[in-house]
Each structure stands twice: as C-alpha cells, then as structure tokens.
Amino acid sequence: MSPKPGVTRTDRRSLPAGSADRVGHTHDPGRSIGLGLVGWLGHSPPWFVTPQNRSFLVGSTRTIRVAVIPGDGVGEEVAAAGRDVLEASAAASHGKFAFEWEEFPWGCQYYTDTGRMMAEDGLQQLRGFEAVYFGAVGWKSVPDHISLWGLRLAICQGFDQWVNIRPVRFLPGVTSPLRKADDTPLDWIVVRENSEGEYSGFGGRNLSARGDGQEVAVQSALFTEFGCERIIRFAFELARTRDRPKVTGVTKSNAQQFGMVLWDEVFDRVRRDYPDVDADSCLVDAMAARFVLQPESLSVVVASNLHGDVLSDLGSALAGSLGLAASANLNPERTAPSMFEPVHGSAPDIAGRGIANPIGAIGSGALMLRHLGLPDEAARIDRAIETTTAAGNLPPDLGGRTGTKDLTAAIIDNLDA
C-alpha cells in the first residue's frame, strides 16, 4: 500500500546509521560492554584489543589525535578552555602522552555559508581520530532541529555512539538548591540510550493538509531489543565499578505500552545476570520527584534517549548549574571515535563576554581521558576542579565573579594541588 500524498513514511533503508544491521543482530554483549568500560574501570579486560588504534607513539610518547568542533556561541570559548587544561595535563605527564588537534569550523555559521552544518564527507573526515571534542551548537538564525540533526546527532548516530554518560557531580563551594546536598554525599551517573528511542527521527508531517488547523505531524520512537539490552547491560557493568552497585531503570510503560514495555522486559531479564547489583525500576515522572526528594537513593540511572536527556539536565541543575555538566557519547566497540561535550547549549546571550562556565567542558575532557585509558590523569583534572570551586573561584552562573579564562587558569594551577 503506497503512502498518502504529503505523508512521509520511513522504511528500513532510512534507519539511522547502523540500525538496519542491529535488527535481529546477535552479538557478544560482554565483549562490547568491556570495550566501553576500558578507562572507566582503570584497566583493560584481558581480551581487549582496540579495533582501530588512532593514537601513535613518537619515541615513548603516546600521541592522541583529537578532532575539535568548537561549534557556536560559548562553545568556542569553553572548548578552548578545555583544550588548555588537557594540554596542561599532557605537559604534566612528563612525556607519557601528547595531543595532536585538528579543528573543524562546522556549526551555524558554516550552515549560513554552505547550507550544511558540516561537510558532506564530515564523518569520513572525523573517522580517523581517536576522539571528538565538541563545544556547543545552536544559533538564533538557524532552527534548532536543523543545527542539532545536522551536526551533533549526525555524529552520534553516524558513529553509533550508543552510550551517553552524564555524571551528576556536587562540587564543594557550589550551592545546590537541594538542602540534602549540604550534609549528604550525592553522586550519581545517568546512562542514556543514545542511538534510538524517542530521538530516532522517524515520522513526518502531512504538508498537503487542506485548511487551517488540519496539518498532522507524527513522531515515532524506535525501541529494539538489541538497543535496550546493550544500554541496560552497560549500566549494570558500570554499577559494578562503583562503591554503591545499584541501577535504577527509568520507564513509562504504564502509558507507552509498546516500546517501554519492551524496555521493562529487557531490564528485568538483564538484572537477573547481576545478582550482586541492586536494581529497581521507576516511572519517569516519579523519578523526577525522586531526583529532588531522594537523591541519596541513586547511583546509576539508566534511561531512554528522551528520559535520560531531561533527567540529566535536572540533575545538573540540582548540582548548581547546567554549566557544570559534562558528558560522553561513547562508541564502546571503538569502531569509530567517541565524542565528549558539555551538556549546556551555545548561550548566545553571553557569547563573547568571557563569562561562560568552562567546568562542563573541562570535565568532559576528563571523561575523554578516562575513555582513552588515562584514569589517573582524568582524576587529577576532577580534583583540580574541586579544589578550585572549594576555594571560591566560581563563574557568574554559580554566583561568582571569575571569568572563563581566570577560572581555567585556576584549574590548571590546581592540577598538582
């Protein structure tokens, strides 16, 4: 049956990169998850071999090739700050590793000039790097859905970066709207499915509708058993590495009776493989309340694309500001580079004023080091951030007066503190 005029219908050929191959695919989940946790565990599984080794040795120094996409607005400022801290970390390694950077001018200005958010062969250009370091995307002259799908999501889905990790960190010296943050150690990680779900891009608009108010838009979510299992299993493996091994699954199966029911069934099946990990499930609306009222009950939270996106932003706000939030978009199999970026947007209202909070970008650089098998160096950056905020060096979004460059310099000074 052919589709009606004006209605977009998706088929298998229009699935996001890799999705068509995933349907009915069999795999060894343990090996895939182990690849993703290299660096997060602080060691490699005994069978680990990097499928594509993009770093190289010059003498005894490991040179790591990183693609930089500053993007738009404050993205340029915070990406530069993150690079400065990463360069300082490399310098302090006494020849253990160094960076080779290549910057790409993609973003909304590139779209204005060329009609594309990135080069037509952009993924091919990025594929040879070990990591992608991203600033922010978005500008008022370009619709948000164009800037997001044309660049960030194009990279995430094109490189099958199916894990999005967003730690929620409560830093010393930073005031949280949560009263419990003053006397309760709070530390949790949101593990977000990053390749399908509600952000699959399936649907369409009936542009041939006749008459005012007659248009129809359909936005579909794609949940595959394979996609659900690999992200849930990743969350359980990550929980095993934490002081409090616990996973909370986020669902809305009472209202979304197909995709979320599948999600729940896979969660219940996978949890039986991890008797050493506490597990529970929570409806997404109740989970939003739990973030505020019972944050101490959380350790690892695993959620679908949309739910993880919203909840992790809430967690960052509870920690003090979106400007604090770091994230990693991981390709655990390492068949393509992973991407690291702050959670915040391009903030056109403060761009160029030198007051953007660089902590999210700097923390994302630490996540990148952890993924690249340099956990000690990553921890050193994390400690430097904590030392800096504890001393009262805070940017304006946290109630302070320290600008982007001065805050970055303070963090660099504290790398050896």
> What's the confidence (pLDDT) of residue 47?
25
CATH 3.40.718.10 matches 176-206+215-319: yes
What integer best gives the mean pLDDT of the chain?
86
> What's the confidence (pLDDT) of residue 109?
96
Closest CA to 106 of 132, 131, 128: 132
Closest CA to 55 of 327, 371, 268, 399: 371
The pLDDT tens digits for 44-63 are: 332 233 444 455 555 688 99
> What's the confidence (pLDDT) of residue 37?
57
Burial pattern 294-333, b for ≥16 Cβ within 10 A else e, equals ebeebbbbbbbbbbbbbbbbbbbbbbbbbbbbbbbbbbbb
Higher pLDDT, 224 or 182: 224
Which residue is it, tokens 């509870």?
Answer: 318
Tell me the pLDDT band of 33, cut-offs 50, 70 and 90. low
Q: Which residues neighbour 358 within 8 Å (Cβ) at sequence distance 6 or greater?
A: 77, 78, 81, 82, 395, 404, 407, 408
> What's the confidence (pLDDT) of residue 222?
92
CA distances in angstroms from 230 to 162, 183, 237, 267, listed in the order given:
9, 36, 10, 10
The pLDDT tens digits for 147-166 are: 989 999 999 999 999 999 99
The C-alpha atoms of residue 338 and residue 236 are separated, in whole angstroms, by 21
**Does the structure show a pLDDT above 80 at 398?**
yes
The pLDDT tens digits for 295-326 are: 999 999 999 999 999 999 999 999 999 999 99
CATH of 50-167+324-417, one of 3.90.1200.10, 3.30.1300.10, 3.40.718.10, 3.20.20.70: 3.40.718.10
Closest CA to 164 of 306, 336, 328, 344: 328
The pLDDT tens digits for 120-131 are: 999 999 999 999
Give the range with max mean pLDDT: 46-50, 139-143, 266-270. 266-270
**Does the structure show a pLDDT above 50 at 393?**
yes
Count the neighbouring beta carbons within 10 Å of the beta carbon of residue 387. 18
**Does the structure show a pLDDT above 50 at 4?**
no
**Does the structure show a pLDDT above 50 at 17?**
no
Region 34-43: mean pLDDT is 49
CB 247 within 8 A of CB 277: yes
> What's the confidence (pLDDT) of residue 11?
37
> What's the confidence (pLDDT) of residue 184?
74
**Does the structure show a pLDDT above 80 at 341?**
yes
CB 118 within 8 A of CB 105: no
The pLDDT tens digits for 82-105 are: 999 999 999 999 999 999 999 999
> What's the confidence (pLDDT) of residue 328?
97
Question: What is the location of CATH 3.40.718.10 in the chain?
Answer: 50-167+324-417, 176-206+215-319
Closest CA to 407 of 82, 171, 170: 82
> What's the confidence (pLDDT) of residue 78?
97
Could you tell me the sign of the dihedral formed by the alpha carbons of 312, 199, 248, 23, in that order? negative
Q: Model pTM?
A: 0.86
- Written as six digits, the tokens of 414 are 């504290």
> What's the confidence (pLDDT) of residue 203?
85
Dihedral in degrees, nearest 10, Cα atoms 323, 122, 194, 9 = 130
Region 199-211: mean pLDDT is 77
Which residue is it, tokens 């182990």?
Answer: 34
The C-alpha atoms of residue 12 and residue 189 are separated, in whole angstroms, by 33
**Does the structure show a pLDDT above 90 at 241?**
yes
